[in-house]
Amino acid sequence: MPSTPDMPFRQDCLDKLLERLKTTLDLSTPPVSEEYAYQSLPLCVLDTIFSINAKYESTRKVVIRYCDHYRLQRVRQDPNTLPSIEEQEPVSALIERISTLGTEEFAKTILANRQRTSTRNGILKSEAVLRFAQVLQAQKVEYLQDVEAIQGKESFEKAIKEIPGQGSGITVKYFYMLAGSDDFVKPDRMILGFLKEQTGRSCNPDQAQELLGRAANALRIENPYMTPKLLDNLIWMYQREKGRELTEAIRRFIGYFEAQFQRIKEIESPLFQKLLIATALDALSRAAFGSSADGLRGRNLKLISEITKWQHHDRVSLPQLALVLIDHKLHKTLLFKKVESLLATWEKGAIIPLERLPRLPDFQLETLEDDTLAKHIESVKSQNCCKFGSGYRFTATASG
């Protein structure tokens, strides 16, 4: 391989990656993935398009539905041998099926999947499948055996990249892999994320292709079966399993706190309930934000406002604000007079709904003589965070 200015960077990444691959992945047995053993080329096209920005299980279901509806064999018996042309469905058959029904109806009734290539200005993936198949047909590609002739062909790849959502070129490489090539990887977020985790450096798709290609060559000394495609598949399966473990850990974490909050609801003492909820909030805010420069209060505020989206998070506790103003000898300010006038409308001994507490913007600027008063209002904004009932009991005015 010719020397390049960033060769030390690439070699450093390769060395780190090889070390991590040998300790992270099970390289003893080649993986078996049915998507790399499709019976016909149209199934490769469906998988190529529907796997982008989607969970693979949904992609797998699309291919299964297509095969079931048209009674097609999905996976060939020998993954290492292409079936004869007579045993395959041609690309032109896929084009005819979609054209006959229309992309909307095909997506709805045959595939039961109306995903789009992008959330913004994307087209139906069924439309992208049709366009992809038409490009293949224009290149005189109908069967798995025909793909080798267009592999790396500029006119073919350019036409595919012009399909909405396929501009990155990832789908082209993945299509080659599905159609039988062992020399490519699919540098999607799963692969790029793994490389960054293992090497400590970000890679673009081209760098990922080169890095994994060189890694596969190095690993082939001890693992003769190793190819870039198989290494890609091993990494993808590792990332998927790690994602499942993370999802399960999150589920257990959420389930634990749901159970604890249910137990708290059964406690008769409101004060004890508040104390326990405050303790739980501390644990949750630490999990969400770690050690915060704002301390416990800052973390809890972020948890309430940014994650729980509690509708009352910006309401100000009037009794607490009045007490703070008195404590700082600010009981002659316009702000204190406003607070006192609002408190005077509250009935002693009544449960005051949280809806009656003012929100922070409700305090007009003319009541704030300086920044100090604004800070005092902010300091009690979160006093309601632990009042998760419909209100709280008001027993006396602040000045009383």
* DSSP state letters, 179-198: TT-SS----SHHHHHHHHHH
The answer as to whether 102 is a domain residue is yes
Residue 286 vs residues 89, 251, 281, 292: alpha-carbon distances, Å: 56, 18, 8, 8
Residues 238 and 341 in one domain: no
Q: Provide mean pLDDT across the span 281-302.
A: 78
Range(s) of the domain holding residue 192: 7-243
The answer as to whether 400 is a domain residue is no
* Under 8 Å between Cβ of 124 and 103: yes
- Classified as helix, coil or strand, 153 is coil
Least confident of 24-38, 43-57, 101-115, 159-173: 24-38
pLDDT at 306: 82
Residues 233 and 334 in one domain: no
Residues 353 and 214 in one domain: no
* Burial (CB count <10 Å: 0-12, 13-18, 19+), residue 285: buried
Give me the residue label for tokens 């999607």. Answer: 188
Each residue of 72-90: pLDDT tens digit? 999 999 988 999 999 999 9
Residues 345 and 237 in one domain: no
392 - beta bridge partners?
352
pLDDT at 100: 97
The answer as to whether 260 is a domain residue is no
CA–CA dist 170, 187 (Å, integer): 7
pLDDT at 235: 93
The answer as to whether 80 is a domain residue is yes
Least confident of 26-40, 177-191, 320-334, 367-381: 367-381
- Domains contained in the chain, number: 2
pLDDT at 119: 82
pLDDT band, very low/low/confident/very high, at 9 (cuts 50, 70, 90):
low
The answer as to whether 292 is a domain residue is no
Single residue among 224, 243, 262 that ends a domain in this structure: 243
pLDDT band, very low/low/confident/very high, at 393 (cuts 50, 70, 90):
very low
Each residue of 225-264: pLDDT tens digit? 999 999 999 999 899 888 888 888 888 988 888 888 889 8
Single residue among 189, 217, 243 that ends a domain in this structure: 243
Residues 224 and 101 in one domain: yes
Residues 145 and 38 in one domain: yes
pLDDT at 371: 58
- Helices 189-199 and 205-219 pack at an angle, to 10 degrees, of 70
Amino acid at 216: A
Residues 322 and 205 in one domain: no
**Tokens of residue 274, six digits:** 């508040």
Each residue of 87-127: pLDDT tens digit? 999 999 999 999 999 999 999 999 999 999 988 889 999 99
The answer as to whether 286 is a domain residue is no
* Burial (CB count <10 Å: 0-12, 13-18, 19+), residue 204: exposed
Q: Give the angle 190-193-194 at the CA atoms, nearest 5°.
A: 85
pLDDT band, very low/low/confident/very high, at 378 (cuts 50, 70, 90):
low
pLDDT band, very low/low/confident/very high, at 381 (cuts 50, 70, 90):
low
Q: Provide mean pLDDT across the span 190-218.
A: 91
CA–CA dist 333, 346 (Å, integer): 21
Q: Alpha helices, DSSP H only, in the chain?
A: 7-24, 41-50, 56-70, 91-101, 103-105, 125-138, 154-161, 170-178, 189-199, 205-219, 228-265, 270-289, 295-302, 318-327, 334-343, 371-379
- Helices 270-289 and 228-265 pack at an angle, to 10 degrees, of 160
* Under 8 Å between Cβ of 48 and 171: yes
Amino acid at 383: Q
Residues 230 and 83 in one domain: yes
Residues 91 and 193 in one domain: yes
Does residue 396 carry a pLDDT above 50?
no
The dihedral formed by the CA atoms of 4, 9, 11 and 13, expressed in degrees to the nearest 10: -140
CA–CA dist 290, 302 (Å, integer): 12
Q: Give the angle 165-167-169 at the CA atoms, nearest 5°.
A: 115
The answer as to whether 258 is a domain residue is no
Q: What is the residue-averaged pLDDT of the chain? A: 85
Residues 346 and 238 in one domain: no
Residues 209 and 63 in one domain: yes
Does residue 366 carry a pLDDT above 70?
no
Each residue of 140-192: pLDDT tens digit? 999 999 999 999 999 999 999 999 999 989 999 999 999 999 999 999 888 99
Residues 227 and 350 in one domain: no
391 - beta bridge partners?
353
pLDDT at 76: 94
Give me the residue label for tokens 């090539």. Answer: 181
Single residue among 243, 265, 289 that ends a domain in this structure: 243
Please tell me the pTM assigned to this model. 0.65
The answer as to whether 64 is a domain residue is yes
